[in-house]
Amino acid sequence: MDTGHAATADVPCTDALPGAALGGPVSHAVSRVARLHRIAAGKLLKGLGLYPGQELLMMHLWDSGPVRQSELIRTLDLDPSTVTKMLQRLEQTGHVRRRPDPDDRRAVLVEATDESCALHAAVRDAWGSLEEHTLAGLESDERAELTRLLAKVEANLCQETEGCPERG
């Protein structure tokens, strides 16, 4: 097999695209954007004592009050074990309280602590500016188009992975 290592030295400048990206420009872009987005979120959340990912869980908690863990799993569409561990850490850092559900002794009720509620506004704000930062320079119609296309892509990826909540 020809390993075809032609790229490093004297290629007549095909505009740099690392070559690997040629095989799937959108896939590539999605990963990169997601990673950068996560990093940006992390920086904004760092001052608030949250790690990226946790804010979504907290937002749902702030929004919905006490909920079953299974509710969180369904809403966030994450693996149960992921949520368990996130909650363990959030409990340890005092953002969340868990207690057994009296109506169903298998279940666990989760709610945001009062202290965590102080972060609510800050987190909402952080997400707002993150969204704005993400979409800077895009016109309204571009934003709408991006949203539409991402939804379409999500639906595509969903149907096979079989793991996402149906949408109307």
Partner DNA sequence: CACTTTACCTTGGTCGGCCAAGTAATGAGC
Partner DNA sequence: GCTCATTACTTGGCCGACCAAGGTAAAGTG
Contacting positions for DNA (CB under 7 A): 2, 4-5, 7, 9, 31, 35, 39, 42, 51-54, 68-70, 73, 78-89, 98, 101, 104-108
Contacting a copy of itself within 68-97 (CB under 8 A) = 73-75, 77, 79-80
CA-wise closest residue to 96 among 80, 110, 107, 79? 110
Is position 139 an interface residue for a copy of itself (rule: CB under 8 A)?
no
Q: Which two tokens stand for residue 145?
A: 């188009």
| The entry of DNA, a copy of itself, none that residue 105 binds, CB within 5 to 8 Å by partner kind | DNA
Contact 73, 108 (CB under 8 A): no
Q: Which stretch binds a copy of itself (CB under 8 A): 60-68, 84-92, 101-109?
A: 60-68
Rounded least distance, CB 88 to a copy of itself, Å: 18
The answer to the question of residue 104 lying near a copy of itself (CB under 8 A) is: no
How many whole angstroms separate alpha carbon 61 and alpha carbon 67? 7
Cβ distance to DNA smaller for residue 34 or 144: 34
67-68 and 96-101 as β-strands: parallel, antiparallel, unpaired? unpaired
DSSP 108: E
- Report residue 71 as tokens: 């509710």
